[in-house]
Amino acid sequence: MKGRSLLGLTISLTILCTCSLAVFANSDRYPTDAELKKLRLDLEKQINLLQQITRKDPPEINQLRTLRSAWSKVDPGVVSFLGSYRALEEGKFIYPSNTKGRVCIIDTYLMGRGGSTAESNGILFTVGSVSNGTIRTTNNHVFIQKGDYLGDTYVQKDEARLYGYNLIGSLKPPSVTHIPGFNINYLPDWVKQEIIQKFKEAGCTASLPNRR
């Protein structure tokens, strides 16, 4: 039985690794409602695996509760999505912004090192709008949730797919000394500056909201 469990985990990890190579690209289109219904079931199937490969940080979770509580008073729709998420070697960091109903997303992954774009260096910045309990991003992805688990859904070659993440902690803004999910020494300075600039221009923040 233990051998079967280990085999199942290995197969699941292989599937996740394969999917992770494509998940950060632009989606061909948004998944339909029917596709999202099926993908929600797929997310439930991934939860057991995500519990095994990722771990929550209790102090970080407490900080996140404080952040979410404060933002719930000014932008309740985005609150349940805020936080740091992990899946294998990939990270997803969802921040509030000064525009109601909008979130900022930083993805980090091991897809490459070097090249002339931030994406080829393993980091992607996008923004998304919260609608009907989902996030729709500017690159045609839709984020869905089940408890502390996040599903990044997208479409490639007319096939709707999902990549799952587990909530692990709170948020820190990108800076020259800190890029979420990265050993900062691996990133060229121009990549850091690009992400910081996009973060600021989109009105993103990791702070408590200003009183309105």
pLDDT in tens, 5-30: 443 444 344 444 445 545 667 899 99
* Per-run averaged pLDDT (10 residues), the chain, 212 residues: 44 47 76 97 93 89 96 97 92 96 93 74 93 95 97 95 95 91 81 95 94 52
35 lies in some domain: yes
Q: How many domains, the chain?
A: 1
Residue 74 CA to its chain's centroid (Å):
22
**Strand, helix or coil at 211?**
coil
211 lies in some domain: no
47 lies in some domain: yes
212 lies in some domain: no
Residue range 93-110, pLDDT digits in tens: 999 999 999 999 999 987
Among 21, 60, 27, 18, residue whose Cα is nearest residue 126:
27
18 lies in some domain: yes
86 lies in some domain: yes
How many whole angstroms separate alpha carbon 39 and alpha carbon 181?
26
Q: What number of other Cβ atoms are within 10 A of residue 202's Cβ? A: 19
Write the CA distances from 71 to 68, 107, 109, 128, integer angstroms: 5, 22, 28, 17
How many whole angstroms separate alpha carbon 145 and alpha carbon 39?
11
pLDDT for 62 = 96
11 lies in some domain: yes
pLDDT for 23 = 65
Question: Which stretch of DSSP H or E encloses residue 67?
Answer: helix 58-71
How many whole angstroms separate alpha carbon 128 and alpha carbon 54?
25
60 lies in some domain: yes
pLDDT for 187 = 85
Among 16, 48, 14, 53, residue whose Cα is nearest residue 152:
16
**Strand, helix or coil at 170?**
coil
pLDDT for 114 = 66
Note down the domain range covering 70: 2-201
